Amino acid sequence: MSKQVDALIVGAGPTGLALGLGLLAQGKRVLIVEKHPDGLDFSRAILVNADTLHALAPFGVSAPIREAGIAVDGFSLHVNGRVVSQARYVVDPQDLTHPVCLPQLHTEKILSDRFLQNGGEIIRGYVFKPD
Ligand SMILES: Cc1cc2nc3c(=O)[nH]c(=O)nc-3n(C[C@H](O)[C@H](O)[C@H](O)COP(=O)(O)OP(=O)(O)OC[C@H]3O[C@@H](n4cnc5c(N)ncnc54)[C@H](O)[C@@H]3O)c2cc1C
């Protein structure tokens, strides 16, 4: 198999997909290879931070992330009905952007859908092995 691209990205996680969106915005031809054929079937991250939303805004993915998730200003950890830990997120009073609660699988779907819409290509089930 042979492909002519400007950038080859290894890994269709949030970093690779965000990098791919940035390179597509610069007019580059981008190919992402991902070793998992269908992606992971569980989420690690549950929170998209406000700074991440700002960084992704130019690529048109912040709005769908906000629509799909729930804006939060803190969390409580409950064990057997008792609150054992609580935290509040500091929200910048200048822009009032709250972190968004959204499982990583959903965030990655939004990123990969936009990457493909913008002309990128993803080959899944391919393990990159440097020589
Ligand atoms: C329990 C937990 C909770 C978390 N909660 C949060 C949170 O709330 N908010 C937050 O912002 N972050 C959170 N994180 C961190 C977040 O999950 C990571 O920062 C994020 O997944 C990193 O993305 P990445 O693209 O750099 O790496 P990854 O998500 O690991 O993606 C790398 C990809 O590269 C692929 N790959 C690797 N090697 C190859 C190869 N040789 N060939 C082809 N493909 C390859 C892998 O299959 C993988 O899909 C959490 C992490 C954990 C573990």
Please check whether residue 113 lies inside any domain of the structure: yes
Average pLDDT over the chain, rounded to an integer:
95
Query: Coil, strand or helix: which one is 83?
Result: strand
Q: CA separation (Å) from 36 to 20, 90, 104?
A: 18, 36, 15
d(CA 6, CA 86): 46
Which ligand 1 atom lies nearest to the CA of residue 127?
A: 42
Number of domains making up the chain? 1
Let me know if residue 28 belongs to a domain: yes
3 state DSSP class of 77: strand
3-state SS, residue 34: strand
CATH number, domain of 21, equals 3.50.50.60
pLDDT at residue 39 is higher than 80: no
- 20 CB near ligand 1 (under 6 Å): no
Tell me whether residue 58 is in a domain.
yes
Note whether residue 73 is domain-resident: yes
Q: 3 or 69, which is more confident?
A: 69
Question: Does 52 fall in a domain?
Answer: yes
The per-residue pLDDT for range 61-116, each reduced to its tens digit, is: 999 999 999 999 999 999 999 999 999 998 888 888 999 999 999 999 999 999 99
In a domain, 56, yes or no: yes
- Residue of the nearest CA to atom 4 in ligand 1? 45
87, part of any domain: yes
Can you give the pLDDT at residue 92? 86
In a domain, 105, yes or no: yes
Confidence of residue 129 (pLDDT cuts 50, 70, 90): very high
The preferred substitution site among 47, 56, 104 for testing ligand 1, maximizing ligand atoms within 8 Å of CB, is 104
pLDDT at 38 (0 to 100): 86
Cα-Cα-Cα-Cα torsion 60, 62, 67, 71, nearest 10 degrees, comes to -170
What residue numbers bound the domain in which 68 lies?
7-124
Length of the chain: 131
Between 90 and 53, the more confident residue is 53
DSSP for residue 91: P
Q: Give the angle subtended at the CA of 124 by the CAs of 61 and 126, to the nearest 5°.
A: 135
